[in-house]
Structures are given as structure tokens and as C-alpha cells.
Amino acid sequence: LCPVRDLCRAFHLGIQGIIPTGTHRKELPHRHMVVAIILRDGRLLITKRAEEGLLGGLWGLPEVPFSNRSSHPQIKQELLDLWGIGVNNIHSLESLDHSFTHFRMTYHPMLCRYVSGMLGGAVVFRWVSPQELSEFPFSSAMRKILTRLPSFEISYQELVEQHSLAAEYTTI
């Protein structure tokens, strides 16, 4: 029972169940991003975000914009243009939806094999083993993606075997 119902005009009019009316929330913008899971010698490339801005100072995986028209060759080119990293054998994995305060994000993880290149400029990066991942702070969305990592490694090895690249994978 409401402690102020004797004073409540809505209660006396019998409309307390519909007042106050809820406000309609504005639709949040929805973004899509490729998350590159780049493997080299059994290690994973992780990058540190700038200290300022969204998720500042946290570690993550290289990201490039994604659209429904993004093809694997376009993603390879974006990774080269934006990150300076050449990859091949891109394998799409299960997408992950995540909500931020002011927008929604769908991450499209792509498993890739490192071929060439080096991150440059002010980018802080590391090549880490799956066992080392717990030493780095990641956003909750990145942690969700990384928890799938063991199955990612299996999928990648299977992909390499399917394409008869097992020998190349071990010599990179």
C-alpha cells in the first residue's frame, strides 16, 4: 500500500495504475566492428587502447569497421591499411552483441593468420599466449570474445588443415 494514497489525486480518480506514463526510449545507434583474432606461432596479437576515450587504457584486439558488404579481401585490406598487419586465411566466427550506455555494438570476430607487417607509431601491442591473457585488463565484451579462444584455436587449426597449410602455420 502506498503511504500517501490518501493524498493522491490519481488514487482518488482510480488512475494510479496508468500514471505516471513511461517515457519512450530513443533507439540506440547500432555499430558493427570486425575484431581480428590474429595468430602467430600460437600467440595472439593484443593492442592497448589510448588512455583517453571509450574503454581507455584497456587491452583489446585490432578492430576495423564492418558492414554487411564487407568481404574477407576488404577486411584484409582494412587490417593492412589501419594496422599495418598482413593476414590471410580469414575465418568468420560467431558474432557478439554488446550494449554500451549510448550505443549498441555487434562484434564480428574474424580468425586470421599473421603473414607480415608490424604495428607502428604509438600503438602499444603484445603477442601473448592464451595463458597470458589473464594478466591484461580487457573490456567485458573483449573478455567474452576471448573466453571463446580455445575453440577459436581448434577452428583455426582445422581451417589450416582443410587448406593444407599446416606446415606453413608452424613455420611462421
- Name the residue among 65, 66, 87 with its Cα closest to residue 76: 87
Are 45 and 10 in contact by the 8 Å Cβ rule? The answer is no
**Helix or strand run (H / E) with residue 109:** strand 104-117
What is the pLDDT at residue 166? 38
What is the pLDDT at residue 53? 74
Compute the distance between CA of residue 105 and CA of residue 116 in angstroms, rounded to an integer. Answer: 29
What is the pLDDT at residue 60? 93
* pLDDT tens-place values along the chain, 172 residues long: 678 888 888 888 888 778 776 677 788 899 999 999 999 988 999 999 888 877 778 999 999 998 878 889 999 999 999 999 999 988 888 899 998 888 999 999 999 999 999 887 778 899 998 888 889 999 989 999 888 765 445 445 554 454 333 334 333 3
**Helix or strand run (H / E) with residue 160:** helix 149-162
CA atoms within 13 A on the CB side of 9: 2
- What 3-state DSSP class applies to 96? strand
Compute the distance between CA of residue 87 and CA of residue 79 in angstroms, rounded to an integer. Answer: 8
DSSP character for 38?
E
Compute the distance between CA of residue 91 and CA of residue 108 in angstroms, rounded to an integer. Answer: 11
What is the pLDDT at residue 107? 94
Compute the distance between CA of residue 149 and CA of residue 106 in angstroms, rounded to an integer. Answer: 18
**Helix or strand run (H / E) with residue 90:** strand 85-92
Q: How many helices (H) and strands (E) does the chain have?
A: 5, 8
pTM of the predicted model over 0.85: no
What is the pLDDT at residue 86? 95
What is the pLDDT at residue 150? 55
- What 3-state DSSP class applies to 20? coil
What is the pLDDT at residue 171? 33
